[in-house]
Amino acid sequence: MTHDTWIILGASSTLARDFARSVAQDGAALILCGRRIDDLEATAADAAARGAAQAQVMAFDARDPDGFQPILDAAARAPGTLNCAVFVGSMPAQDAIDADPALVDGTIADNFTGPARFLTLLAPMLEAREGGAIVGVSSVAGDRGRLGNYVYGGAKAGFTAYLSGLRNRLGRKGVHVLTVKPGPVDTPMTFGLGKQPFMSTPGAVTADIRKALRKKRNVLYTRAIWRPVMMVIRAIPEPIFKKMSI
Ligand SMILES: NC(=O)c1ccc[n+]([C@@H]2O[C@H](COP(=O)([O-])OP(=O)(O)OC[C@H]3O[C@@H](n4cnc5c(N)ncnc54)[C@H](OP(=O)(O)O)[C@@H]3O)[C@@H](O)[C@H]2O)c1
Tens-digit pLDDT profile for residues 40-79: 999 999 999 999 999 999 999 999 999 999 999 999 999 8
Could you read off the pLDDT of 139-181 as tens digits, one per residue?
A: 999 999 999 999 999 999 999 999 999 999 999 999 999 999 9
Asked whether 132 lines ligand 1 (CB < 6 A), one says no
Q: 97: part of which helix (H) or strand (E)?
A: helix 94-99
Peptide bond between residue 63 and the one before it cis (omega within 30 degrees of 0): no
Residue 189: per-residue pLDDT: 86
**Main-chain phi, psi angles of 181, to 5 degrees:** -120, 90
| Distance between CA atoms of residues 130 and 107, nearest Å | 33
Residue 1: pLDDT band with limits 50, 70, 90: low
Please give the model's pTM, rounded to 2 decimal places.
0.97
Percent of the chain with pLDDT over 90: 93
pLDDT value at 2 more than 70: no
Residue 66: per-residue pLDDT: 98
Asked whether 222 lines ligand 1 (CB < 6 A), one says no
Mean pLDDT confidence for 67-94: 97
Average pLDDT, the chain: 96
Work out the angle at residue 47's Cα, subtended by the Cα atoms of residues 135 and 72, and round it to the nearest 5 degrees.
50
Asked whether 184 lines ligand 1 (CB < 6 A), one says yes
Asked whether 12 lines ligand 1 (CB < 6 A), one says yes
Asked whether 175 lines ligand 1 (CB < 6 A), one says no
Asked whether 88 lines ligand 1 (CB < 6 A), one says yes
Mean pLDDT confidence for 185-214: 92
Residue 79: per-residue pLDDT: 86
Could you read off the pLDDT of 222-237 as tens digits, one per residue?
A: 999 999 999 999 999 9
**Which of 33, 88, 205 for a ligand 1 pocket mutation test, highest count of atoms within 8 Å of Cβ?**
88
Asked whether 38 lines ligand 1 (CB < 6 A), one says no
| Dihedral of alpha carbons 155, 156, 161, 165, sign | positive
**Which of 18, 187, 195 for a ligand 1 pocket mutation test, highest count of atoms within 8 Å of Cβ?**
187
Q: At the fourth CATH level, which superfamily is domain 5-241?
A: NAD(P)-binding Rossmann-like Domain (3.40.50.720)
E strands present in the chain: 5-9, 29-34, 54-59, 82-86, 133-137, 176-182, 219-222
| Distance between CA atoms of residues 242 and 7, nearest Å | 40
Q: Are 204 and 187 in contact (CB under 8 A)?
A: no
Residue 137 Cα to ligand 1 midpoint, Å, equals 9
* Pairs from 89-93 (Cβ < 8 Å, separation ≥ 24): 89/10, 89/13, 89/137, 89/139, 89/156, 89/189, 90/152, 91/149, 91/152, 91/189, 92/151, 92/152
pLDDT value at 207 more than 60: yes
Nearest to 17 by CA among 32, 5, 2, 4: 32
Sheet holding 133-137, edge to edge: 54-59, 29-34, 5-9, 82-86, 133-137, 176-182, 219-222
Residue 83: per-residue pLDDT: 98
Residue 14 Cα to ligand 1 midpoint, Å, equals 8
Residue 244: per-residue pLDDT: 95
